[in-house]
Amino acid sequence: MNQEQVRTPEEIIQSYQDTFSQNISETRIERFTTGVKKTEFVHIWMKVNRTVFKDAIKHLFQFDKYPHFAVSSGYDTADNIDLIYHFSIYHGSRDKELSINIKVSLPKSDPTLDTITDLIPGALISEQEKQEMLGVKIKNIPKDKRVFISDDFTKDVYAWRRDETGPYKYARNLHEVDK
Amino acid sequence: MSQTIKTTFQLPIGPIHPALKEPVAFEFEIDGEQIIDVNVTLGHVHRAIEWAARKRNPIQVLYLAERICGICSYCHPMAFALAVERIADVEVPEHAQFLRVIHAEIERMCSHILWAGVAAHEIGFDSVLFLTWEIREKLLDLTEYLVGNRVTKAITMIGGVRRDITPEMYPKIKETLQYLKDSFEKLRRVYLEDKTFKMRTKGCGILTKEEALKLVAAGPTTRASGVKKDVRVDQSYFAYCDLDIDYMTPDILTGEVNGDVYDRIIVRLLEVKQSISLIEQCLEQMPPGPIVSEPKIAKLLAKLKKVDGEGIGRMEAPRGEVFHYVKLNANEYIYAWKVRAPTYNNIMPWIPMLKNQQIADIPIVAASTDPCMSCTNRIIMIEDKKTFILGKEELHQRSIQKTRRLHL
């Protein structure tokens, strides 16, 4: 474990609220149990305002020197694109790891967000994926290239969008076509 | 007099590569035999599975998730099931939690032993490949005996598993575990004591602890660099919290961590041994009870249709953490699903691993993270606008020749 002092989920949420006050919302702590001994594990969720997103990620480094970034997921909510960055901290000792999921909502009119690759270089592929699948723009991304979709695929079509920029016109139901 | 200018060459490998099981493209910058830089491109087999799931209900997605990967055909649907169970507050019976551990550990052993064979093949030991795959065959027989299928297991259900393991089945499981224990010593001698294996793998493809942490590597790749990270121990799921389990890092055996290919072999072999012990513990401790919380699928689906929420499912697959995010919005179909396989995180660490290595080491270094991608046959070498095609055989031959050279 790389952290100096292990904080409880409540202390982590409190620390975020103290630092970012109004910019943190929808905080929740989910507690689950598993096994015969009913061992507890915790998932923390919070939503941050885009303006403090980068600082909110930086804040994680206070709890663990190397927060583990799993992946970012995202979806289209009609007006916005929601991205969720999934982290875990405190790995390295039994049943102490906490999952922290940080959500950020981007308006479709300006879906831009800061890169976190300067803090966690391993986040590059995940950021590239969000650019090509959801049409968000990651500012200062070190490698602004497609990673999963080939370069010759139509621009301005985003596979995970549910609006007119979605891939529906490219997807045909087999029973609707002759071949 | 004309002046000689020393330049580097570009060596594209892929979108197909002999060491891999699925396509990926590397662009190497090489100086003679030495790799100076490497660039990786993905996506050649992107099948839009996450998008396809939008028109499926959670039970149908289980079978779709199973088809993400042939080797991890248990981890993906299980991680998805974990996420859905957390959203919908589905309690998994204790008996089923132990059954889930048994299946996960059998899959881990199958994968690690398969990998060991591939690694031996990459450096020219095809007899060892057949030795390991003979051992794996017994495990596939056991898988077939327990779940009815050898590869695509179809054992996962939201709230439990689909088939029970009864005490009458224990002797067959114990017999296979005994066979594995007997074979383990042979494997250990071949992989860890053989002089040539050591020469090809020690000091090769090094990933430092700091790089592993910064590049968020997962699974045996990160543990071989000394990072204590294993979801089974860090954040327990199934019945792992009730079992005796610890992080497998190479210093357990050798007292030191180098983060090279040799260390990755050690970690995987130690984990095979650990898996045997975990299954034995499960057979001893497994409480009786039902195998699934809701056996009627229509009833389960009706419940899931009303659920609104989001959740994550994490599981330690053979190659590292499998991560699933699921969002349900009180609809028949799932709203969003993100699948993160461990190779997704283990792509970036390839770059420091491959730098300063030789071309002949590409197959073993690339294979050492056990990447989950498929394989086709050739690489193209472009030198001063002349194109050479290096076939799979030729690249493989280079690797074998290096092994032979070491013997001279």
Which domains, and CATH codes, for chain B? Answer: 9-45+344-407 (3.30.390), 49-340 (1.10.645.10)
Q: Which among B42, B238, B312 has CB closest to A34?
A: B238
Task: From chain B, pick out residues whose CB is under 8 angstroms from the CB of A81.
Answer: none
Q: Which among A74, A124, A146 has CB closest to B348?
A: A124
The whole-model pTM stands at: 0.90
- In the DSSP assignment, the letter for residue B374 is B
Q: How many CB atoms lie within 10 A of CB B168?
A: 7
For A50, the domain range is: 9-176
Confidence tier at B383 by pLDDT (50, 70, 90): very low
Query: If you average pLDDT over each of A145-149, A159-163, B256-260, which comes out highest?
Result: B256-260
Q: Is residue A1 part of a domain?
A: no
The residue of chain B nearest to residue A73, with distances taken between CA atoms, is B338
Q: Is residue A122 part of a domain?
A: yes
Q: Pick the residue with more confidence: B245 or B50?
A: B245
Q: Do A91 and B97 touch (CB under 8 A)?
A: no
Q: Do B344 and A74 touch (CB under 8 A)?
A: no
Is B139 in contact with B109 (CB distance < 8 Å)? yes
Distances (CA, A) of B397 to A5, B114, B202, B373, B401: 53, 21, 20, 22, 6
* Residue B180, pLDDT above cutoff 50: yes
With a CB cutoff of 8 Å and minimum separation 6, the contacts of B240 are: A34, A35, B101, B232, B233, B278
Number of H helices, E strands in chain A: 3, 7
Interval B380-386 mean pLDDT: 43
A70: nearest Cα among B317, B159, B38: B317
Distance from CA of B155 to the nearest CA of A (A): 19
* pLDDT value at residue B18: 61
Task: From chain B, pick out residues whose CB is under 8 angstroms from the CB of A35.
Answer: 94, 97, 236, 238-242
Q: Do A35 and B239 touch (CB under 8 A)?
A: yes
Confidence tier at B408 by pLDDT (50, 70, 90): low
* Residue B385, pLDDT above cutoff 50: no
Confidence tier at B345 by pLDDT (50, 70, 90): confident
The residue of chain A nearest to residue B243, with distances taken between CA atoms, is A35
Q: Tokens 């794996």 correspond to what residue?
A: B136
Q: Which helix (H) or strand (E) segment is B405 a member of? A: helix B392-407
B350: nearest Cα among B41, B122, B33: B41
To the nearest whole number, what is the mean pLDDT of chain A?
90
The residue of chain A nearest to residue B55, with distances taken between CA atoms, is A173
- Which two structure tokens, joined as six digits, stand for A55? 């600082």
Give the lowest-confidence range in A49-58, B7-16, B89-98, B218-227. Answer: B7-16
Distance from CA of A45 to the nearest CA of B (A): 10
Q: Is residue A4 part of a domain?
A: no
Per-residue pLDDT tens digits for B114-149: 999 988 888 888 899 999 999 999 999 999 999 999
DSSP letters, B50-80, are HHHGGGS-HHHHHHHHHTS-STTTTHHHHHH
How far is A120 from A142, CA to CA, in rounded Å? Answer: 12
Distance from CA of B182 to the nearest CA of A (A): 31
The number of residues making up chain B comes to 408
B278: nearest Cα among B103, B132, B85: B103
Q: Do A95 and B235 touch (CB under 8 A)?
A: yes
How far is A28 from A13, CA to CA, in rounded Å? Answer: 8
- Which two structure tokens, joined as six digits, stand for B69? 């990967």
Strand B386-391 and strand B378-383: pairing? antiparallel
* pLDDT value at residue B374: 29
CATH assignment of the domain containing A65: 3.30.460.80
Could you tell me if the ipTM is greater than 0.90? Answer: yes
Task: From chain B, pick out residues whose CB is under 8 angstroms from the CB of A122.
Answer: 214-217, 345, 348
| Amino acid, single-letter form, for residue A21 | S
Task: From chain A, pick out residues whose CB is under 8 angstroms from the CB of B344.
Answer: 71, 125-126
Q: Which among A43, A125, A149 has CB closest to B46?
A: A149
Give the lowest-confidence range in A81-90, A121-130, B397-406. Answer: B397-406
* pLDDT value at residue B148: 92
Instruction: Return the bridge partners of A98, or none.
Output: A42, A89
Distance from CA of B196 to the nearest CA of A (A): 34
| Amino acid, single-letter form, for residue B10 | Q
With a CB cutoff of 8 Å and minimum separation 6, the contacts of A19 are: A55, A59
* pLDDT value at residue B363: 80
Give me the total of CB pairs closer than 8 Å, taking one residue from chain A and one from chain B. Answer: 136
Distance from CA of B348 to the nearest CA of A (A): 6
Q: Is residue A55 part of a domain?
A: yes
Interval A37-52 mean pLDDT: 95
* pLDDT value at residue A138: 95
Q: Do A159 and B51 touch (CB under 8 A)?
A: yes
Is A72 in contact with A136 (CB distance < 8 Å)? no
Distance from CA of A149 to the nearest CA of B (A): 6
Q: Is residue A117 part of a domain?
A: yes
Is B116 in contact with B326 (CB distance < 8 Å)? no
* Residue B341, pLDDT above cutoff 70: yes
How far is B70 from B66, CA to CA, in rounded Å? Answer: 8
In chain B, what percentage of residues exceed pLDDT 70?
Answer: 92
Task: From chain B, pick out residues whose CB is under 8 angstroms from the CB of A75.
Answer: 327, 335-336
Q: Is residue A62 part of a domain?
A: yes
* pLDDT value at residue A178: 58
Q: Pick the residue with more confidence: B114 or B382?
A: B114
Q: Which among B217, B247, B325 has CB closest to A84?
A: B325
- Among A3, A26, A36, A117, most B C-beta atoms within 10 A, so best to mutate, is A36
Structural domain count of chain A: 1
* pLDDT value at residue A36: 93
* pLDDT value at residue A90: 93
Per-residue pLDDT tens digits for B253-266: 999 999 999 999 99
The residue of chain A nearest to residue B338, with distances taken between CA atoms, is A73
Peptide bond between residue B342 and the one before it cis (omega within 30 degrees of 0): no
* pLDDT value at residue B70: 82
Q: Is residue A53 part of a domain?
A: yes
- Which two structure tokens, joined as six digits, stand for B91? 């309690």
Q: Do B336 and A73 touch (CB under 8 A)?
A: yes
Per-residue pLDDT tens digits for B264-309: 999 999 999 999 999 999 999 999 999 999 999 999 999 999 999 9
Interval B84-98 mean pLDDT: 95
Confidence tier at B25 by pLDDT (50, 70, 90): confident
* Residue A172, pLDDT above cutoff 70: no
Burial of B318 (0-12, 13-18, 19+ CB in 10 A): buried
In chain A, what percentage of residues exceed pLDDT 90?
Answer: 72
* pLDDT value at residue B17: 66
Q: Do B335 and A159 touch (CB under 8 A)?
A: no
Q: Is residue A37 part of a domain?
A: yes
